[in-house]
Amino acid sequence: AARHLDVPPVAFTGFFEEGPAYDEREHARRAAAEAGVRLVEVPIRAADLLAHLRELAVALEGPIAGPGSLPQLVVAGRAREEVTVLVTGQGGDEIFGGYARTRIAWLAGAGKLDPAKLPAGLEGYRPLVARLSSGGGSDLADRYFRLVHRGGGLEDLLGDATRERFDAYDARSAFGDAFRREDGDDFHRMSSWERRALLPALLHVEDRVTMARSLESRVPLLDPALVSLAARIPSRIAFGEAESKRILRIAARGLAPASAIDRRDKMGFPVPLGEWAAGPLAADLRERLEDGPLVSAGILAPGAPERLLAGAGGHGRHLWFFLLLSEWMDATGARP
C-alpha cells in the first residue's frame, strides 16, 4: 500500500509496559520503517482492564475468547481516531502453519522433536513441548489435543454441581472424534482444523471489538481464493520441515519488510494478566470475583477466587475466563 500512496499509510501496534516479554515495538518500528508506514504505538495498561471488562463481556455476547481481546479493543479505539477501516493479518497462522503448536505436533509425529534442542522460534514454548509427555495416545489427534487443551486445573476451582458436569464431559474423546474426520497429511489436517474450528472464534472477537469502536476490519489473507490455494499446496512446499509460514515467507520476499520475513520469535500478543493480578489489580479483581455471581451460583468453589489470583502466572487464561464470565452474568442477569 505504501508504494501506491502519496501519503504513508498508518499502522497501529499495542504494547505493555511490563517488560520485553510483552513489548514488540522494536520489531514493529523496524518493519514500519522498511515498509514506509507511519506507526502509532498504543499502550495498554492495567487500568484498561477495569475500564473495559464489562464492555468487552457485553460486546462479545458471552464469556468467550482470551485476554488478547482487551488489547484488540484498546488498539481499535486508538485506530478509530484516525481511520474507519483497518487491514489486519488475521488468518495467516491458520492457513500457513504459523502456530508453535502446529510445528511441535508435526515434529513429534516425525520423531524430530528434541526438547533439549528446539528449533528457532520454539525455545520459549518448552511448557507446550512438555505437554506432549503428559500421557495419552500417540496419534496426531491426541498429540494435538494435548497442545490446544486449556482445561487443566479447572476442576480444582469449580463448585460441586459445576464440577460434576465438568467431569462428566470427555473433552479428549469429543475432540478426537471431530479431528479424525480431517483429511490429508498431518500439516493439512491441523491446518483444516484450525480454519474450521478455531478461526471462527477469532473472527468473532475481531468483528465485535472493532464494531464496538465503529471500526471496520478487513482480513485479506482470508480471501477465499487464497485460502483454497493454500489448502492445495503440498505440505513439503508450504510447511517444509515444520517451517513456520514457509510458503508465505517465500512469496513475500521483496514485497514485505525483510526483518518481518526473517523473524522467528513472533509473540502471540501475550497479556501480563498475572502481573496485574499479583500487583496493581489484586484487590479489585478479588472483589469482582468474590462479590460477583460465580460463588453464589456455585460455579466457583469458596476460596477459588483467591486461588485464581495466586495462580494467574503466565497469561492467566483461567482467571480471564472467570472474570469475563462474572461480568457477563452480572450484566445480563444470566444464571445456570
* Cα Rg, the chain, nearest whole Å: 21
Range of lowest pLDDT (172-176, 287-291, 292-296, 311-315): 311-315
The pLDDT value given to residue 31 = 93
Q: What is the pLDDT of residue 45?
A: 97
pLDDT, tens digit (0-9, with 9 covering 90-100), for 215-225? 999 999 999 99
Name the band, by pLDDT with cuts 50, 70 and 90, for residue 94.
very high
| Residue 52 one-letter amino acid | H
Which amino acid, 27? H
- pLDDT over threshold 80, residue 38: yes
Which tens digits make up the pLDDT trace of 98-111?
999 999 999 999 99
Q: Is it the case that residue 250 has pLDDT exceeding 70?
A: yes
- Average pLDDT of the residues of the chain: 92
Please report the pLDDT score of residue 151 as a whole number: 83
Answer whether residue 328 shows pLDDT above 90.
yes
Give the model's confidence band at 62: pLDDT under 50 very low, under 70 low, under 90 confident, else very high.
confident
Query: Tens digits of per-residue pLDDT, 115-166?
Result: 889 988 898 888 889 888 766 667 899 999 999 988 888 888 999 889 999 9
pLDDT at 120: 86
Task: Express as a percent the part of the chain with pLDDT over 90.
Answer: 77
This prediction has a pTM of 0.92
Residue 328: all three cell numbers together: 457477563
Are 15 and 8 in contact by the 8 Å Cβ rule? The answer is no
Alpha carbons 78 and 118: distance in angstroms, whole number: 38
Report whether 222 contacts 208 (CB < 8 A): no
Find the mean pLDDT for residues 289-309: 92
Three-class secondary structure assignment of the chain: CHHHCCCCCEEEEEECCCCHHHCCHHHHHHHHHHHCCEEEEEECCHHHHHHHHHHHHHHCCCCCCCCCHHHHHHHHHHHHCCCCEEECCCCHHHHHCCCHHHHHHHHHHCCCCCCCCCCCCCHHHHHHHHHCCCCCCCCHHHHHHHHHCCCCCHHHCECHHHHHHHHHCCHHHHHHHHHCCCCCCHHHHHHHHHHHHHHHHHHHHHHHHHHCCCCEEECHHHCHHHHHHHHHCCHHHHCCCCCCCHHHHHHHECCECHHHHHCCCCCCCCCCHHHHHHCCCHHHHHHHHHHCHHHHCCCECCCHHHHHHHCCCCCCHHHHHHHHHHHHHHHHCCCC
Query: Is residue 311's pLDDT more than 70?
Result: yes
Can you name the residues that pair with 216 across neighbouring β-strands? 85
Using alpha carbons only, give the angle 90, 199, 49 rounded to the nearest 5 degrees. 70
- Looking at residue 134, its pLDDT comes to 67
Residue 265 confidence class, pLDDT cut points 50, 70, 90: confident
Q: What tens digit of pLDDT does each residue of 189-208 get?
A: 999 999 999 999 999 999 99
pLDDT band at 266 (very low <50, low <70, confident <90, very high): confident
What distance in Å separates the CA atoms of residue 275 and residue 16, rounded to the nearest whole number?
11
- Best CA proximity match to 287, nearest among 261, 306, 267, 311: 306
